Amino acid sequence: MNNWPYPAIVAHRGGGKLAPENTLAAIDTGAHYGHTMIECDAKLSRDGQIFLLHDDTLERTSNGWGIAGDLDWDDLLKVDAGSWYSGAFKGEPLALLKDVAARCREHGMMANIEIKPTTGLDAQTGKAVALAAREEWQGMTAPLLSSFSVEALEAAQQAAPELPRGLLLDEWRSDWRELTSRLGCVSIHVNHKLLDEARVAAIKDAGLKILVYTVNDPQRAATLLRWGVDCICTDRIDEIGPHFQG
């Protein structure tokens, strides 16, 4: 695999702010705007199905309630994950990771899968997502796995060491070199507000790629690309499009 085959612009949670996040409809929206890579969040149902959801709980992005990981997939299938966004998406279901892979295959899109464990299920989720990613993305560009959870990344590394991994940071860590080396990461995925030109240069000098989130200002996006950032994850998939150069 090419060391870094991924494009400069990534559609955050599939369709950014233009569709209900982490749904197949969102991925279709990202594809409609010409994007060639999406980011999504994956976790486990109680009975071990891998599905997309950012939060531990269902309330913010669906008509469901409670901790999603405490429910079996049959119950999660009854949840409406679209109406909260708009009536146009009424009845949009939660998405299984295997269906995300099929939709990526259909659209010719790449994926950054954030391993987003329900609290306490870090290792179990990391292993399951890595094994599923290996299986479902066969014949496509390998998905880039990332997580804030070191335990989840360790489990992914052990389960499918050949898949590329990125360490997510929302606060700066002085031990980032040691940590990314131990986890065999190819990239750091960082809140763009933590970066300046010198920090970008240090990360690049360490041989790592840089993905930043969530950049919605075109001027800021242009600056980050000029500094040497490799990937920009954006909600403004219309303004910061797939061919954006700043």
| Residues noted as catalytic | 12, 54
Report the amino acid identity of residue 180.
Answer: T
* Rounded CA separation 53/196 (Å): 31
CB contact set of 200 (below 8 Å; sequence gap of 6+)? 210, 224, 227, 228, 229
Q: Are 239 and 222 in contact (CB under 8 A)?
A: no
Question: Helix crossing, 122-136 with 150-159: angle to 10°?
Answer: 40
Question: Hey, what's the torsion of the CAs at 178, 131, 170, 225, to 10 degrees?
Answer: 90
* Rounded CA separation 119/149 (Å): 10
